[in-house]
Structure 1
C-alpha cells in the first residue's frame, strides 16, 4: 500500500466509511453524504495536491529532477553504462564532454531537492502521521503534542493546583440508554432483548482495559407468554482461552460471527424464535443480505464501543496542533540550512501545502463534529407531559369518568392493593362504576396519572386548577441529566437551595459506560459537564452533597474544587453503609464506607444538625440537679455587651431551691429515678465551668458571687441569635439544661448529639432499606434516614431540592415527606418502574422510611416529563437534497467544507422547523422507546414554557367549534404576567385571523396580561409571535 492509499484509508476511517450499514447517530448522517465525501477524498484532495506540486518552488524541484533524469539518460546512451556510478556521480574523464557538462549542471540543480514521487510521498506521510495521532476507535482524543521528548502538554494558567484529564475539552455523550438493554421487534412480532448481566471481571481474565460483548448462550430464554427472546451478554475482558479463540485483532467481529452461528442453534426447535433471528431484512456495508440477528448484533456492539465524546472545539484544537506539527515535525532547520536560500522556498511551499490540505480536512471533520455538538447542546423537546394528582383534589363530578378507566384501576390495584371486588351490604347492588366512585371517596389519596386519560379529560381536570404552582410540589424528568438541567435552567435559575447527587461510582461493573482505556477521564468528562450545567440553578445559599465511593472520591474532590471555592467546602463525610460482618477474606481491609462531599454557598444559612438516640446512663448522671424554685431576684449589676450594644442585666436570687437528684442504687431504683427525670425534665440541669476564652461569660461571672445568679441579654450569634435569653449561674458555674440537648418522648429521654464527619451505621438505620418506597435497586439505593438528615441540614420548607441522578427516588420521596419542592432527573430505563412508581406511593401515603417520624399521611401532586434524547435528535436529522445540490454546484469546496450540513439540515424537526408551528398539536419526532422507533407528537407548549422560564399558574383549553386553543398563564423570571396562546393556524387566511382575534377577546384570555405570545401570526391586539423566541431560546448559548 503506497502512502497515498494509506492516507485515503485513514480518511475513510475518519469519515466512518466502514460503518455504512450502521443506522444510528452520526453514521446515519454520514451515509447520506457518503458519495460526495468519497469523491472529495479520492479525487478532489489528490487533485489539489497534484496541482500544488505543479506550481512554485515544488514544481521547480520536480522539473530539476526530470531534467537530471533526461541528462542521465543522454550520458548513458552516449558514453556508456559505466559513465555514472551507483551514487549518480559522473566519472572524471567525462566532465569536459558536452553531455557530461549538461549532466553536471542538472545534477547541481537537483541537489537537495526531491523528486515528484518523493515530494508526494512526504506530503501524504505527514498528513497521515498528523491525523492518526488523535483518532482512536471512533473518537478524537485531545492529546496536545509538546515535543519528541516530552510528548504531551496540558493547558495551565498558573494555578497552584490544577486537574486535567484526557477528555477535558470534550462532552461525554453516552447515557447508557442502549447499553444495559437493547430491544428490537422482528417482522413476525417476536421481541428480542439483548441484556447486560454482571460478569466476573477478575478471575481468569486477561489483564487489560479492553472489553468485549460476549453472549451467555446457557442463559438465553424464550418467554412464551410475552413472545420475547432474551439473549444475555457479559461486557468484560477476554479470558485466556478466549484470546486463543478470537486472536488479537478484530476480536469483537469474530465474537459477533460466533454469536450469529451459536444463538440460532439454541432455538432450532422454536420456529417463531428462529424466524425472528434468521429472517433477512437488512444489508451490510457491501450490499449483501444479512439476517436480523447479524444486523442487530453489529448495531449493538458498535453503538456501545464508539462515539463516547464530542469535541467542544475540534477545529480550533486540530488547527493549533497542525501549526505545532508543521513547526516541529515538518520544518527541519538542519536540512533547511544545508539546502540554502534558493531551495528554502520549496520547504515553505510544502509546509503551506500540508497546512492547506490539512486545514481542508480539519474543516470537513469539524463541520461533522460541530453538528453533533449542536445537537448535544441544543435544548431538547419535551416529548410527553403527565400529571399525578390525588383524586381528593379533583372534583367529585369527574369521578364517574375516572371509574370507567380500567387501566388506571389496574395500576391502583397493583400499587395500593385496592380491592374493588370486595362486597358488603352497602355495595352488593351497585354497579362497578358506583363501587369505584365510593372507593375514591373513601380513599382521597389515590393518585391519578393523566397518561391513562384522554386529552379532553386532562384539559378539563387541569383547567379546573386555579393555581398549578400551588398544586404541584415537584417535577420528575426522564432524560439525560445534562439535557434536563439545560432545559430547566431558565425556569429554575438561582432557585435551587439543595442538591444531592449520587452518580454512578465507576466501579467497572457496568454501572458506568466508559471508553476502553479512558475509564476515569470518561467519568470526569461526564461529571464536569453536569456540574457546569447545574451551577446557574444554584441559589446564593445552595448546599450540595455528592455521594461517592473510594473509586472516584479523590478525583471528584479535585473536580469539585475547580467548580466551587475553598470557602464553600463544608465537609468530607465518611458514611458507614454496612457493617463488616461476613465481608473480606484473609488480610484484606474491609471497606464499609462511602463518602459524602459537601459544599455550601453561604454557611450562615445552614441549620443545626443533630441526631437522637436514648441517653446513656453515664451522661444522665451528670445532669443530677433540678431548679425547683428560682425565688425572687433583683438587679445587682449591668453593662453593655460589645457584640450587640445592648444592656446585660445581672440578677441575684433569694429564696431559691435547688434539688439534687439521688442516683444512689441506680440499678434497683432505675424506674423511680427515670420517672423523676421525666416529670421534671424542663428543670433538670448540670453545672460546668466557663471556658477561658469565653470573655463575655467571664464578664458576667465576675459580677456574680456564691449562690444563684442569672443574666438577661440579647444573643448575637449561634442557635439563639437575635433572641433575648436568661442564663443561670450557681457558685460561679453556669447552668447547662438537659432540655437544650435532649427531648422527652413517651417518657424516654432522647439525647441530641452534634453530627460529626463520621456517620456510623447506628446513626442511620436502614434495616428495611430494600422495602423502602416499595422499589428495589440492585446497588446504590440510599436510606431515607440519610437524605432526611441532609435535607434537614441544608434546606427549609421553602427550598427546592434537586437530584439529577435520581435512581430509586429516595431524594424526591424524602423531600415530599419533609414538605420541600423537588426536581428529580434520571435517564435509566427503570424510571417508570422505580422512581415514578415510588413517588405515586409517597403521594398515596406509604409508611416506610421516615414516614412515621415525619408524620407523613400522603398528599401533594407532581408532573413528570419525557425528553427527546441525543440519539433521537440525531435520528430526526433530515436533508434538503435539492437545494443542497444547487449550493454545492454553485459554491463548490467552500459549501462542502463549511456549510453543507448546517444548510441541508436546517428544516429538521429536531432543530425546530418554525414553519410547522402552524400545527403545534401535531408536531412529531421519531422517538426510540421500548425497542422500536415510532413517530410521536411532542409537547411544544411545555417545551416552550421551560425555554422561556415561565412559571405556569394555569393551563386551560378553549374551543371555537372544533378548533382547540391551549392557553397558559404564568409569571416570567422578571415577574411579568404572561399569556401564551397555542392554536392550529395551517391554511388560515385573513378571515380566520380576524375570527381568531375576536374569539380570544370574547373569552377574556388576555386579562391582566403584561405580555402576550402566540404561535404563528395573529391579529390579536398586543400579541407577539412566539416562533422566533422559541428558536432563539432552544439554541441559546449553542455553538456549531
Structure 2
C-alpha cells in the first residue's frame, strides 16, 4: 500500500522571489504587494521575526532577503504563480521536510531518491524506556531491532555507492545495533565506532545506575568500498619543528660504504647538535620508530645499515649523501649516546622542496580536545539554546552533526543530498544550510518526523535558521547581522496508516466482537472497502481525512504521482484555460498534466500547453483519465502518452466479497 501526499507547502526566502522576478519589475511589485496585503503572513513575521512590514521598499531593496514566506497563508493561484517563476524548481529547493511516520515516508520517496543520497544520519530512540519520544522507546530488543532493520533496508536502497550512514546510540542497544548493521549493511562495510563524551561524570542521570554513562557512540558504515572517509586538512606551512642545527666541528676521518653510499662518520667530539629558534633554514628531528621504520627510505636505511651498529656506535653521527627531498643533498642520522635511555635513533631533514601548504590526516574515532577535536560535553550542555527552538532530550549539537557530515564527504560534495529520518529538532537540516553558506553550495536535505513538534520545532527551526543564525531571547538578535540563507524548503504532510483506517467503510461482522475493539481494526478483507478510491476524472476533488483532529483535505495528486514515478519537479506550472485549471509538472522530457475531465474534448487546450516554450523538448505526456492520444501525437512533438489511472497510485487493496 502506497501512502499519499495530503498537503504541500513551501518556505521561500523573499530574496528567491526577487531573484526570479528581476527582469520583470511590474510582476515583482505585484507579488510584493500581494504579500503585504496578507495579514496572516504579516502577523507571523511580526511574532516570529520581530518585523513590522507595511511598505514595499524594505523587501524590494533586499533588506530582508532571507525572510521566509510561508505559502500556507496564500491561495493556490498565488502559490502556483510563484512556483512557475523558478526555471528549475527542484534544483533550487534546499530541503524537504516530511511530516510522516518514517517507514511510510521512506517507501513513498524510494523511487525518486534511489541511489542519490550521499550521507545518512539518524538519531533513533535509544530504547531506554523513556516516554518522551513519539516513537515507542521501550521495545523488547527484538521489536526495536525489527523497527530499525526495516528502515535501514529502505534507506540503503536510496544511498549512493560512495555514501555512508551514521547512527547515534548509547550502550543500551549498541552491540545489538552493531550486529544488525553487520547484517543490513555488511560487516565488511563497518568503518568505526566513534566515542563522544556528552556529559560530565559528576552529573547523575539516574540514581539507580551503578555506572554513570558519560559517553554515547556513533556507529559509521559505508554503503560500499567506493566510499572513502574525508581527511582532516591541517596547515603544513609552520616551521615550528625545524629548530635543530647540526654543526660539523671537524672533518670526518672515517667513511663507510653502506648500501652503495659513501657515508661519513662523526665521533661524539667531532660534531654538535643544537636546538635553536625555528626557521626554514634549520632541520626537523625525527625519531625512527613505529611506522617510520619501514614507511620511508630514511627509516629503511637506518634499519638495514645503522641499527646493527647501534651498540658499538653510541653517540655517533652519520652523514648519508644523496638522500632526502630537501635542498641539503644529504641526510644526518644520529645514534643516541650511551647515557640516553632509548633504543631508537634519529634522522634530521630539511624543509621538503615540494612541501604542500596543507597535510591530510585520518579522523580519530574519539572526538577530543587534541589536534583540533574536542570533548563535546560543553557543546551538549549548550545544545538547548541552538536553533532558537526548545527540544527536550535527544537534541544533537550542530557542531556534532556538521562534523559527521564532513567526515562522510558532504563538505567536499557541494551537490550532495543528506537524509535524516529521525529528524527530531532538525539539526541535520540546519547543518546542511550552514555548510552551504560557507561555500555557496547546493547541498540538500530530507528530514522525516512524525511528532506534533514537526510544526512547532522542526519546521520552526529550519525557517528561523533560514532567516538568521543570530537569535537571543526567542527573537533575532538586534545587535547582530541577519545572516541567514536565501533558499526554498518544501514541507509536506503524508497520509499515515491511521489515516487509511479512518478512511475505511466498515461492515459489522456476523459474530460478536469485543465492544472495546474498534471495528476498523478488524480489517477483514471481505468486510472492508477503502472509502478513498481515487477519481482520476476529477483529480483535485479526492477528499481525505487525516490527522488526530480528522482534518478534511484533498490528495495532492501531482506531488504523489511524481514521488511514485521518481520524477523531479523541474517546472511547476499552472494554466487556466476555458474555465479549467491544468496543473503541470515538467521532468526532463516528460510532462505530467492533471485537470478535471468534462464531456468536452480538451485536445486544443492540451496542445496549447505543450506549445508553451517552458515545455519545449517534451516528448512524453502523462495525462490523467483520458485524452485524444492520436490527435496529440499527430500535432505535437510527443512520442509517447501515458493515461494516468487509479492503479498508478496503488491506493491499497479493494476487495470484492467472494460468495461460497
**What's the TM-score bracket when you normalise by the shorter of the two chains?**
0.7 to 0.9
Q: Which runs of 5+ in 1 are unaligned?
A: 1-377, 421-431, 628-658, 664-676, 713-725, 745-750, 850-854, 886-899, 972-976
Question: Secondary structure, in 3 states, of the residue corresponding to 1:508?
Answer: coil
Contact preservation (8 Å) 1:479, 1:866: yes
Partner of 2:183: 562
Compared CA separation, residues 901 and 1009, structure 1 to 2 (3 A)? farther
Query: 2:281 & 2:561 partners in 1: Cα distance?
Result: 60
Partner of 2:645: 1027
Q: Does 1:875 align with 2:502?
A: yes
Give the TM-score normalised by structure 2.
0.73
State the Cα distance separating 1:451 from its structure 2 match: 1.0
Q: Does 1:825 align with 2:452?
A: no
- Per-residue displacement from partner, 1:481-525 (whole Å, max 9, x unpaired)? 000010110001011111111001121121457999953333222
Partner of 1:572: 193
Which of 411, 420, 423 matches 1:803? Answer: 420
Question: Secondary structure, in 3 states, of the residue corresponding to 1:448?
Answer: strand
Q: Does 1:940 align with 2:557?
A: yes
Structure with larger RCO (C-alpha < 8 A, sep 6+): 2
Question: Secondary structure, in 3 states, of the residue corresponding to 2:453?
Answer: coil
Compared CA separation, residues 934 and 957, structure 1 to 2 (3 A)? same
Question: Secondary structure, in 3 states, of the residue corresponding to 2:141?
Answer: helix
Query: 1:740 & 1:588 partners in 2: Cα distance?
Result: 56
Partner of 2:344: none
State the Cα distance separating 1:949 from its structure 2 match: 0.2
Query: 1:705 & 1:830 partners in 2: Cα distance?
Result: 71
State the Cα distance separating 1:753 from its structure 2 match: 7.4
Query: 2:354 & 2:424 partners in 1: Cα distance?
Result: 38
Query: 1:741 & 1:845 partners in 2: Cα distance?
Result: 41
State the Cα distance separating 1:832 from its structure 2 match: 1.0
Question: Secondary structure, in 3 states, of the residue corresponding to 1:443?
Answer: coil
State the Cα distance separating 1:444 from its structure 2 match: 0.8
Aligned runs of 1:864-943 on 2, under 5 Å? 864-878=491-505, 901-902=524-525, 905=528, 908-909=531-532, 913-914=533-534, 916-929=535-548, 932-943=549-560
Query: 1:603 & 1:626 partners in 2: Cα distance?
Result: 46
Question: Secondary structure, in 3 states, of the residue corresponding to 1:389?
Answer: strand
Partner of 1:1018: 627
Query: 1:739 & 1:580 partners in 2: Cα distance?
Result: 49
Contact preservation (8 Å) 2:125, 2:137: no
- Per-residue displacement from partner, 1:190-209 (whole Å, max 9, x unpaired)? xxxxxxxxxxxxxxxxxxxx
Higher strand share: 2
Q: Does 1:758 align with 2:385?
A: no
- Per-residue displacement from partner, 1:970-1019 (whole Å, max 9, x unpaired)? 13xxxxx210001111xx22x43344444435546753123210011001
Q: Does 1:967 align with 2:568?
A: no
Which of 437, 450, 468 matches 2:71? Answer: 450
Question: Secondary structure, in 3 states, of the residue corresponding to 2:609?
Answer: helix
Contact preservation (8 Å) 2:66, 2:467: yes
Q: Does 1:410 align with 2:43?
A: yes
Compared CA separation, residues 611 and 788, structure 1 to 2 (3 A)? farther
- Per-residue displacement from partner, 1:831-870 (whole Å, max 9, x unpaired)? 1111111111222231489xxxxx9752322111111111
Q: Does 1:983 align with 2:595?
A: yes
Partner of 1:863: 490
Query: 1:738 & 1:518 partners in 2: Cα distance?
Result: 59
Contact preservation (8 Å) 2:181, 2:187: no
Compared CA separation, residues 1006 and 465, structure 1 to 2 (3 A)? closer
- Kindly report structure 1 stretches of 4+ aligned residues shifted beyond 6 Å: 513-517, 584-587, 682-685, 699-704, 726-729, 736-744
Calculate the aligned-residue CA RMSD, in Å: 4.1
- Per-residue displacement from partner, 1:450-494 (whole Å, max 9, x unpaired)? 111111100110001100122112111110000001011000101
Which of 602, 610, 620 matches 2:232? Answer: 610
Aligned runs of 1:214-253 on 2, under 5 Å? none
Question: Secondary structure, in 3 states, of the residue corresponding to 2:563?
Answer: helix
Q: Does 1:952 align with 2:569?
A: yes
Partner of 2:293: 692
Contact preservation (8 Å) 1:623, 1:738: no
Contact preservation (8 Å) 1:487, 1:947: yes
Q: Does 1:772 align with 2:405?
A: no
How many equivalent pairs are there?
Answer: 543
Query: 1:407 & 1:739 partners in 2: Cα distance?
Result: 66
State the Cα distance separating 1:955 from its structure 2 match: 0.4
Contact preservation (8 Å) 1:468, 1:953: yes
Query: 1:880 & 1:1025 partners in 2: Cα distance?
Result: 34
Compared CA separation, residues 1000 and 418, structure 1 to 2 (3 A)? closer
Larger Rg over CA atoms: 1
Query: 1:842 & 1:728 partners in 2: Cα distance?
Result: 57
Query: 1:826 & 1:731 partners in 2: Cα distance?
Result: 63
Q: Does 1:400 align with 2:23?
A: no
Q: Does 1:786 align with 2:408?
A: no
Query: 2:362 & 2:612 partners in 1: Cα distance?
Result: 60
Aligned runs of 1:660-739 on 2, under 5 Å? 662=276, 686-689=284-287, 691-694=292-295, 706=320, 710-711=324-325, 730-731=331-332, 733=347, 735=349
- Per-residue displacement from partner, 1:676-707 (whole Å, max 9, x unpaired)? x7xx7x88873325522226565799999547
Q: Which runs of 5+ in 2 are unaligned?
A: 22-27, 247-272, 306-317, 334-346, 437-442, 473-481, 511-522, 634-639, 654-660
State the Cα distance separating 1:928 from its structure 2 match: 2.2
Compared CA separation, residues 741 and 534, structure 1 to 2 (3 A)? farther
Q: Does 1:592 align with 2:214?
A: yes
User: Which segment is superposed worse, 795-804 or 407-416?
Assistant: 407-416
Query: 1:685 & 1:791 partners in 2: Cα distance?
Result: 38
Question: Secondary structure, in 3 states, of the residue corresponding to 2:551?
Answer: strand
Which of 110, 135, 148 matches 1:489? Answer: 110
Contact preservation (8 Å) 2:12, 2:488: yes
Query: 2:435 & 2:245 partners in 1: Cα distance?
Result: 35
Partner of 2:458: 835
State the Cα distance separating 1:433 from its structure 2 match: 3.4
Query: 1:872 & 1:434 partners in 2: Cα distance?
Result: 43
Question: Secondary structure, in 3 states, of the residue corresponding to 2:448?
Answer: strand
Query: 2:431 & 2:138 partners in 1: Cα distance?
Result: 39
Query: 2:297 & 2:156 partners in 1: Cα distance?
Result: 41
- Per-residue displacement from partner, 1:744-771 (whole Å, max 9, x unpaired)? 9xxxxxx997532222473435153221
State the Cα distance separating 1:795 from its structure 2 match: 2.1
Partner of 2:2: 379
Contact preservation (8 Å) 2:321, 2:329: no
Compared CA separation, residues 626 and 1003, structure 1 to 2 (3 A)? farther
Query: 2:580 & 2:282 partners in 1: Cα distance?
Result: 74
Query: 2:431 & 2:65 partners in 1: Cα distance?
Result: 21
Query: 2:354 & 2:213 partners in 1: Cα distance?
Result: 36
Contact preservation (8 Å) 1:926, 1:935: yes
Aligned runs of 1:258-297 on 2, under 5 Å? none
Query: 2:422 & 2:96 partners in 1: Cα distance?
Result: 14
- Per-residue displacement from partner, 1:59-95 (whole Å, max 9, x unpaired)? xxxxxxxxxxxxxxxxxxxxxxxxxxxxxxxxxxxxx
Q: Does 1:812 align with 2:429?
A: yes
Compared CA separation, residues 959 and 697, structure 1 to 2 (3 A)? farther
Contact preservation (8 Å) 1:506, 1:552: yes
